[in-house]
Chains A and B, each alone.
Chain A
Amino acid sequence: MDFFPFDDEYVRRLRDGDRSTEDHFYSYFEPILRLKLRGRLPSAEAAEDARQETYARVLKKLRAPGGGEIRDGHAFGKFVLTVCNNIVFETYRGDKHNEPLDDEIIERLASLENSEGELIKEQMRECVRRVISTLETRDRNILEAIFFKETPKAAICEEFGVDQGYLRVLLHRAKEKFRKAWAKEQQRRPRDRDETDPPRPSLLPRETVKRQDT
């Protein structure tokens, strides 16, 4: 998945119910929200509820009479995360007031989760797992401990004999090695690829990525 520059036009299309923009909105924020909510809520179900509630509230705010709350389309990403943060805080405080999701949102999410898009995502996951399996044991163990087993950080630090600050370094290195292995994997099998293969994610060696600083 690539960097996406949000703007006023994007927000307008989303407000107007443009289908492809809505699909992009759901798909783009899915991994970001999953990552953000991971471990912050008591269960996977609560995290999934919060993700769906985020979609619903963002669209509701956007389509509220008067044009919604978003003044600057460039800040749309941050706006979505703020909505998500509020939902997490409400959950902590126990005053969550989720409203029933609109039928339309339920159907759209369902169609996205069950459509060809899901197959592509599964192919992407399969590629990720294949690449992870080629990494050195230590890097593989770090990624699995952090993302899969969700081992408490203290336990991971103890296992790898590092402090919490250095765990970031280990994660950073493991990610860099993953990126290189990913690029290698993609080069190794160019002729195997066809249109059913997963789209190229942002997983490129760092030197090929242009930085847009703020």
Chain B
Amino acid sequence: MTHDEAKKSMAAEAYVLDDLEAAERNAFEEHFFDCTDCTIDVLDAATIADGVRTGNVVRFRGYSRWAAAAAAAAVAIGLAYNYVPQVASLWHRTPAPIGQQASVPAREQTIDLDASRAAQAPFIIVGNQPVSIGFVIPVTDPRPPYVCELRDDAGVLIGSATVDTKEKASNPVSLVIAGGKFHSGQYTLGIRGDREIPAYHFVVEVH
């Protein structure tokens, strides 16, 4: 396949849409790794696809061995938590009790949203570090997809995630926000899906 043929037949779009016959697909694959334009066409589609469908849960086939390694790491972290309080503070993930400020000055900062406490006390974060927002989609019998959008008090979209499987919707969701995106103020995490879901509201203080 030449580039002109690929362009004329919109082969990159057909490839993405899985419209090509096996022979055409092979011919296009043969071509596109040698063609800047077509590679970029396909990579752009891949980037959009990856952005639209988020929260890839990666499961490793050699799970048992990987799980053993992860368990060992968890034990090590547990020991560190018990014996090295300053390290434990970096990994602390439990929200502070109601009425107390939840300080998460760790390198990977975490805000665990909990409807019962969220409006009560601000989460204190370091502004230039990424923040992971943990929350659950409070529904029984989830029917994905759910689009979760975090907005500030002016309604500006700060970040979003799409939960696209039942399994993911049944488990805690994590939305990672890059450093520097938060300012002090009120935030709303809205969840759009198959039914009306109450939004999470919380306050952030950036230090």
Residues of A within 8 A of B (CB): 1-4, 6, 31-32, 34-35, 38-40, 44-45, 48-49, 52-53, 74-78, 81, 85, 98, 100-101, 103, 106-107, 109-110, 113, 119, 121-130, 132-133, 143-144, 146-149, 153, 164, 167-169, 171-172, 175, 178-179, 192, 194, 196-197, 201-203, 209-214
Contact = CB atoms under 8 A, between A and B. Distances in A.
B176 A119 contact: yes
A1 B47 contact: yes
Nearest to B160: A129
B16 interface: yes
**Main SS of the interface on chain A?**
helix
A188 B60 CA distance: 39
Contacts of A103: 62, 65
Contact of A172 (B10, B47, B176): B10
11 contacts: A32-B43, A103-B65, A106-B60, A126-B176, A129-B159, A149-B145, A194-B179, A202-B43, A202-B44, A211-B35, A214-B3
A96 B50 CA distance: 27
B160 A175 contact: no
B2 A35 contact: no
Contact of B49 (A35, A100, A153, A168): A35
Interface of B: 2-3, 10, 13-14, 16-19, 26, 29-31, 33-37, 39-54, 56, 58-62, 65-66, 69, 128, 130, 145, 157, 159-160, 162, 164-165, 176-180
Given A1-B47, A78-B33, A130 B157 contact: yes
Contacts of A209: 36-37, 40
Contacts of B17: 146, 153, 164, 167-168, 171
